Amino acid sequence: MSARDVVLGRVRRALADVPREERPEQVPVVRDYLASHSPADPVGMLAEHLADYRALVHRTDAGGLPELIARLLAERGSGSVVVPAGLPKGWLSAVPADTVRRVPDAPSVTAAELDAVDSVVTGCAVAIAETGTIVLDGGPDQGRRRTTLVPDHHVVVVRVPDQVVESVGQALPLLSPVRPLTWISGPSATSDIELDRVEGVHGPRTLEVVLVRE
């Protein structure tokens, strides 16, 4: 007998008390929790909650975006930036090409090569106000998962208010589980030393979120 049969057989015997005719959906699940806890201003809450967990939050409009991104990379002293294939062309238009090397997000780029890159600029799939969360789904303006993981500086652009939802419950239906998803709430952190929170371990230690009003 296969291990599969053994385990499933044990499960079925263990559930001898469950009536045979009972269907899973007949087990009651009352969902009377709130669909959202947000007040009138989800974008404001997103900014506040991102900042609570030490993300650096910036606001601009579409016209100001290229200058802002250029400034953030310059302030950081970045000499190289990973560029997802579908990043809107204009976003890096103010970043000088002679001093900041563009590294494409391509399968041929190894993790070790990414480790030598200073920054990464991406868009996002959706942002959640209540939890201060940015969700990446590997879309063309976001690239592969390692792209936003290995470089130490991540600049992520959120179009507000279009890409902002209030709650986790509102975000899930907008996301496709078929795509690999990364939910980011502030830069990496640990509480492993005396349960005190320290920001910055393995992921990008600096997370800059640009809220672009359209």
Between CA 64 and CA 197 the distance in angstroms is 34
Q: Is 193 in the site for another protein (CB under 8 A)?
A: yes
Instruction: Report the residue from 64, 86, 88, 138 that binds another protein according to the rule CB under 8 A.
Output: 138
The nearest distance, CB 53 to another protein, in angstroms, is: 7
Q: Is 149 in the site for another protein (CB under 8 A)?
A: yes
Tokens for 39, please give them. 């007040």
Between CA 118 and CA 80 the distance in angstroms is 5
The nearest distance, CB 189 to another protein, in angstroms, is: 5
Q: How many residues bind another protein (CB under 8 A)?
A: 78
Query: Cβ of 178: how many Cβ atoms within 10 Å?
Result: 7
DSSP helix/strand/coil, 210:
strand
Give, for 199, the enclosing helix (H) or strand (E).
strand 196-199
The nearest distance, CB 177 to another protein, in angstroms, is: 4
The nearest distance, CB 61 to another protein, in angstroms, is: 28
Q: Is 102 in the site for another protein (CB under 8 A)?
A: no
The rounded radius of gyration (Å) of the Cα atoms in the chain is 22
Give 63 or 173: the residue with its C-beta nearer to another protein.
173
Between CA 206 and CA 19 the distance in angstroms is 54
Give 90 or 180: the residue with its C-beta nearer to another protein.
180
Find the binding residues for another protein in span 1-60 (CB under 8 A).
Answer: 2-4, 6-18, 22-25, 27-34, 37, 49, 52-53
Between CA 124 and CA 99 the distance in angstroms is 26
Give 49 or 68: the residue with its C-beta nearer to another protein.
49
Q: Given the rule CB under 8 A, which of 57-65, 70-78, 87-95, 164-172 is the region that contacts another protein?
A: 164-172
Find the binding residues for another protein in span 63-92 (CB under 8 A).
Answer: none
Q: Find where tokens 């209540």 sit.
A: 130
**Under a CB-based contact definition with an 8 Å cutoff, are residues 121 and 69 in contact?**
yes
**Under a CB-based contact definition with an 8 Å cutoff, are residues 70 and 126 in contact?**
no
Between CA 79 and CA 97 the distance in angstroms is 10
Give 62 or 172: the residue with its C-beta nearer to another protein.
172
The nearest distance, CB 39 to another protein, in angstroms, is: 13
